[in-house]
Amino acid sequence: MKTILIRNALIVTQDESRRILKGDMLIEGNRISKIGEVSDSADTVINAGGNAVLPGFINTHAHVAMAHLKGLLDDISLENFLEKTFLLDANRSDKGIYNSAMLGMAEMIDSGITSFHDLYYSEDIIARAASRFGIRAFLAWNTLDDEFTTQSGSPLKNAESFIRKKHGDLVTPSVGVQGIYVASDETYRGASEIARKYDTTIHTHLSETRKEVYDYAAAHNGQRPVEHLLEIGFLDDRLIAAHSSFVTMREVRQLAKANVKVSWNSISNCKLGTGGMPPVPEMLDHGITVSLGTDSNGSNNSLNMLEMMKFSSLLVKNARWNPAVMNAQKILDMATRDAASSLRRTDIGVLKEGNLADLIMIDLKQANLIPAGPDNIVQGIVYSANPANVDTVIVNGKILKKGKKLRRKIPETEKEKMI
Ligand SMILES: [Zn+2]
């Protein structure tokens, strides 16, 4: 079994009591075996030199195979955006999906994202890319009504057969639903059934824009999407709902009661000019688990969790005229332990003995992070850090970035090879 010893680190555990420890960490195989003073030797020794080691970030809403769409879908509304992406999706090749996914994974690893939760078709190709790249992937096969899909065959059947296949250690398959504008009750119910049958999570877009909610309500006697999905039994503790931006307090209570998890996609929502954001403080007050999602490079243009943390934090402070409405620790929780619990995992998102070795090291000696130490390291990470500070990234006990360099070359970047 391969071993890695990280010496002399400032370990931001993100455990129950958010301990920050000075010490060493031993990784044996794919797990953390010791934290504290470690006298063992190891195959690889990394001297952290007082730098911060923390759980890798978990991105809970992505479409990684759209990584090549940076700069191609800018300055348009979501309706136009979806129209254009559906057209682009219809003409993609397997090779293009694979290459674009590899590019997105490189970008995520570079900024310290060690797990991502994806929503797309052709997740079998993305699963292959993730296993090859070495990143942990929670992959939801997207479903929608047959009449709207660009997939060959029935999306629900495709999702089920994807879940039934073996995908290796790093990949957790699941099912998703695109959204209420292209999915009937039958599709929602079908996805729920699959999730229950195979005990998976469900991934969906929910109430992302005001137009989507108003159009739905106008056509359904004033009933709003959350109310309807509750009525048909779609809302439960398996569900991770991206966006959830246009919800009433009644809907917040309904989401909380059903134990639905929310992925907050602040940058994507703002870039699309949706004019809304989820009522996160109220969601938290009601016990909803909220995590952070980049969404795709089409609507975010970067897959950067450090940027997500800072932006989300500033957005909510400004929107509520209250800098204390959410502190840096809560934002870091959303990007790590809360995201893990949304995905029903306790073995990632927290650094403790026995957990999987998914972690990152941040260089605290660069100008933008000085002076960061035990008392302000969390603020440093949330408000000041950028991907250039991410020195080392380890996923499942394997080093994917070291000395600020990705181990795997950034894949083909010519756009035509990613379509
Ligand atoms: Zn999305």
- The CATH number covering residue 130 comes to 3.20.20.140
- The whole-angstrom separation of Cα 183 and Cα 322 is 38
Average pLDDT over residues 176-184: 97
Summarize the confidence of residues 183-198 as an average pLDDT: 98
* Cβ atoms of residues 260 and 235 within 8 Å: yes
Q: What per-residue confidence (pLDDT) applies to 417? A: 80
The pairing of strands 171-177 and 57-62 is unpaired
Q: Given 295, 319, 342, which residue is the final one in a domain?
A: 342
Q: Cα(296) to centroid of ligand 1, in Å?
A: 6
Q: What is the mean pLDDT of residues 61-67?
A: 96
CA of 22 to the centre of ligand 1 (A): 39
* Distance set, CA 341 to CA 16, 217, 253, 260 (Å): 13, 32, 20, 12
Indicate the burial class of 90 (C-beta count within 10 angstroms; 0-12, 13-18, 19 or more).
Answer: exposed
Query: For residues 313 and 387, what is the distance between their CA atoms, to the nearest angstrom?
Result: 18
Ligand 1 centroid–CA 16 distance in Å is: 31
Would you give the distance in Å from CA 322 to the centre of its chain? 27
Q: What is the pLDDT of residue 63?
A: 97
SS3 breakdown of the chain: % helix, strand, coil, rounded to 5? 40, 25, 40
Query: For residue 60, what pLDDT is reported?
Result: 98
Residue type, 174: S
Q: Are residues 52 and 71 in the same domain?
A: no
- Residue range 33-56, pLDDT digits in tens: 999 999 989 999 999 999 999 999
Q: Is residue 416 part of a domain?
A: no
266 and 177 fall within a common domain: yes
Domain count, the chain: 2
Q: Specify whether 101 is located in the same domain as 225.
A: yes
Q: Residue 14: give the domain boundaries.
A: 3-56+349-406
Position of tokens 């010893």?
5
Among the candidates 292, 322, 342, a domain finishes at 342
Cβ-count burial 1-15 (b if 16+ within 10 Å, e if not): eebbbbbebbbbbbb
Q: How far is the CA of 156 from the centre of ligand 1 (A)?
A: 19
Torsion angle, CA of 207/213/215/218, rounded to 10 degrees? 140
Question: What's the CA-to-centroid distance between 295 and ligand 1, angstroms?
Answer: 5
Q: Check whether 413 has a pLDDT greater than 60.
A: no
Task: Quote the pLDDT of residue 231.
Answer: 97
CB 17 within 8 A of CB 76: no
What are 372's two structure tokens? Answer: 């960061």
Q: Cα(81) to centroid of ligand 1, in Å? A: 11
Residue 89's pLDDT is 80
Distance (angstroms) between ligand 1 centre and the Cα of 374 equals 36
User: Residue 82 — very low, low, confident or very high, per pLDDT cuts 50/70/90?
Assistant: confident
Between the CA of 205 and the centroid of ligand 1 the distance, in Å, is 6
Burial profile 238-267: b = 16 or more Cβ within 10 angstroms, e = fewer: bbbbbbbbbbeeebbebbbebebbbbbbbb
User: Domain check: are 333 and 384 in the same one?
Assistant: no
Return the closest-CA partner of residue 239 out of 218, 258, 257, 226.
258
Nearest partner of 268 among 245, 312, 299, 233, judged by Cα: 299
Average confidence (pLDDT) over 263-280: 95
Judge contact between 4 and 397, C-beta under 8 A: yes
- What confidence tier does 88 reach under pLDDT thresholds 50, 70, 90? confident
Q: Specify burial of residue 335 (Cβ count, 10 A radius: 0-12, 13-18, 19+).
A: buried
Are residues 288 and 159 located together in one domain of the fold? yes
Hunting for tokens 């934002």 — which residue is that? Answer: 331
Mean pLDDT of 308-318: 98
**Lowest model confidence (mean pLDDT) among 86-90, 146-150, 219-223, 340-344:** 86-90
pTM for this entry: 0.97
Ligand 1 centroid from CA 285, angstroms? 25
Mean pLDDT across 96-101: 94
Domain boundary among 342, 372, 390: 342
392-399 mean pLDDT:
98
Query: What is the pLDDT averaged over residues 316-330?
Result: 98
Residue 78 lies inside a defined structural domain of this protein = yes
Instruction: State residue 87's pLDDT score.
Output: 85
Give the distance (Å) from ligand 1 centre to CA of residue 333. 22
CA atoms of 286 and 254, how far apart (whole Å): 10
152 CA distance to ligand 1 centroid (A)? 21
Do 137 and 67 lie in one domain? The reply is: yes
How does the average pLDDT of the chain come out, rounded?
95
Compute φ and ψ for 204, nearest 5 degrees: -150, 165
Task: Evaluate whether residue 284 is within a structural domain.
Answer: yes
Whether residues 151 and 257 share a domain: the answer is yes
Which pLDDT does position 35 carry in this prediction?
98
Q: Which residue has the higher pLDDT, 417 or 213?
A: 213
Statement to judge: residues 225 and 91 lie in one domain:
yes
DSSP one-letter code for 356 = B
66 Cα–ligand 1 center, Å: 10
